[in-house]
Chains A and B, each alone.
Chain A
Amino acid sequence: MPKPTVSVFQYPRTREEMPRGPYAKAGVLVEANAGWRVFRPVIQTARCRKCQQCWLLCPDGAIDRTGECYTVDYNFCKGCGLCATECPAKAIAMVKEGAKGE
């Protein structure tokens, strides 16, 4: 998937390792946003028509349309529910985190 993933960031250990000036490498993620979520979107593959609406509109870009089935990157989905609301096929269910069977 052509998107950054969480990696371990090595903070500067010496003054020589400090970046000279406040800049950083682009596309570096040191922590996920998974903890923000109360409800998680679950894509019901059988109902999905692959219309791309959820992929297109997701504010976090957390949906992947490249595989055989659409998938959600739960590291970065914040559970806003926009995808479920906008899905014309009603193929996305919002399921409470920690609910039975999940």
Chain B
Amino acid sequence: MSNDTLTARRAFMSANDAVSYGVRLCRPEVIAAYPITPQTSVVEKLSEFIAGGEMDCQFINVESEHSAMAAVMGAAMMGCRTFTASSSQGLLYMCEMLHYVSGSRFPIVMMNANRTVAAPWNIFGDHRDSLAMRDAGWLQVYVENGQEALDAVIQAYKVAEDPAVRTPVMVCLDGFVLTHTYEVVSIPGQREVDAFLPPFVPGENVLDLANPRSLCISVAPEWQTEFRHQQQEAMAAARRAIAGADGDFAGVFGRRWGGMVEEYRCEDAEYVLMGLGSVMGTTRLVVDKLREEGLKVGLVKVRYFRPFPNEEIAALGRRVKGIGVIDRDVSFGNAGALYTEAKAALYSAGDASPHTVNFIAGLSGRDITKEHLETMYRKVIALTEGKAEREIQFAGLRWEEW
């Protein structure tokens, strides 16, 4: 093993570099990737680690994202721990493979640099790419900063490879806002990571000369439902594994991220904003400011979109008066994906169900400013006080007052 030498230290780096260090610490045996902005520096860094002998890993320079996922699937099938990374058009190009991998139960970990989807062409961030892959059968975790990105990668392997889960995990980072933003990140020591994440032990869905099996086989309707139900059960098991991994991780590394969701100043909150990823960082500042004014506000950072934190959101719904959901995506003809799902979760809050409003914001890299966020809180408060608000609003639309 060539990367024994990595000892714990702090360094100034981009979230993409943080992901690269996280991956390196997890000792994947095969990586395959195809470049796409803003994911590229992850695979460049990993190539550098491998070329420099700092990682003992096979790197496959594939000719497309479809092939990237197919190649890591080929390696996973042979019992290897694997990694790939993509974004936007690339993620959509490998869509078929995402379903194939989850259906076949290979615990592959992928980083997705969230970027909008053409057309119009644009390389900047929003969540339409990964949310469009909502039904691909992968776990999806959205992170807020570089440190969480690094830690989420390590936890992702732990959860994905859990025998009760055996389902791939997508670690989602906001393009540019995170991927290319530098901050101080703690890199854990290799020895501690090795203790937290032992070598991958594949399940029985592995190509084995001593015990030949046929994988990814065809299954007639008579047995399909049972395999599908198994995937659903794996997602239920993932909820427990996510909490377990977060707790164990905190025990070793002293950082806890909250598992499925993280609540901030929600103990007595009456009005909350809910969202995914980096925007939650700015929202914290706005919460603090409004708290100083005496407003009972809080925020809920949804970390895992799959499995979805239905229970956590329903419980929140019983405590608060109004919820604004920020979506960096929109499912044209309906609402944002997070809003749709959160609202469904709130249905089981019963009569205590709070007022809800959906803010479509930060599309294709547009800034979500503190002023926008403050306006959102005030709109949520107004809504609970009986003022009419449109249920779905595009934040900061040029033709409208905001």
Is B213 within 8 A of A23, CB to CB? yes
Q: Which segment of B215-223, B283-291, B339-347, B349-357 sits at the interface?
A: B215-223
Is B226 within 8 A of A25, CB to CB? no
CA distance A11 to B103 in the complex (A): 20
Q: How many residues of A contact B (CB 8 A)?
A: 13
Is A19 within 8 A of B212, CB to CB? no
The answer to whether the Cβ of A21 comes within 8 Å of any Cβ in the partner chain is yes
Contacts of B229 in A (CB 8 A): 15
Q: Which residue of B lies closest to A11 (CB)?
A: B223
Ranked nearest first, the 5 interchain pairs of A and B with the lowest CB-CB distance are A21-B105, A26-B212, A21-B205, A23-B215, A23-B205
The answer to whether the Cβ of A22 comes within 8 Å of any Cβ in the partner chain is yes
Q: Which residue of A lies closest to B219 (CB)?
A: A22
CA distance A63 to B305 in the complex (A): 56
- Residues on B facing A (Cβ under 8 Å): 103-106, 166, 203-205, 212-217, 219, 223, 226-227, 229-230, 233
CA distance A24 to B207 in the complex (A): 11
Contacts of A24 in B (CB 8 A): 213-214, 217
The answer to whether the Cβ of A18 comes within 8 Å of any Cβ in the partner chain is yes
CA distance A15 to B213 in the complex (A): 20
Is A19 within 8 A of B214, CB to CB? no
Binary per-residue interface labels of chain A (8-38) against chain B in the complex, 1 for a CB within 8 Å, 0 otherwise: 0001100100111111111100000000000
Contacts of A11 in B (CB 8 A): 223
CA distance A25 to B166 in the complex (A): 19
Q: Which residue of A lies closest to B218 (CB)?
A: A22
CA distance A11 to B223 in the complex (A): 10
Contacts of A27 in B (CB 8 A): 212
Is B219 within 8 A of A19, CB to CB? no
Q: Which residue of B lies closest to A25 (CB)?
A: B213
B151, chain A: closest CB distance, angstroms: 28
CA distance A11 to B234 in the complex (A): 21
Is B226 within 8 A of A26, CB to CB? no
**Mind listing 27 A-B residue pairs with CB under 8 Å?**
A12-B226, A15-B230, A15-B233, A18-B226, A19-B204, A19-B205, A20-B166, A20-B203, A20-B230, A21-B103, A21-B166, A21-B203, A21-B227, A21-B230, A22-B104, A22-B205, A22-B215, A22-B217, A22-B219, A22-B227, A23-B216, A23-B217, A24-B214, A25-B212, A25-B214, A26-B214, A27-B212
The contact of B205 among A15, A20, A26, by CB within 8 Å, is A20
A19, chain B: closest CB distance, angstroms: 7
CA distance A21 to B212 in the complex (A): 15
CA distance A25 to B210 in the complex (A): 12
B238, chain A: closest CB distance, angstroms: 14
Is A23 within 8 A of B214, CB to CB? yes
Contacts of B205 in A (CB 8 A): 19-23
Is B214 within 8 A of A18, CB to CB? no
A13, chain B: closest CB distance, angstroms: 11
A63, chain B: closest CB distance, angstroms: 24
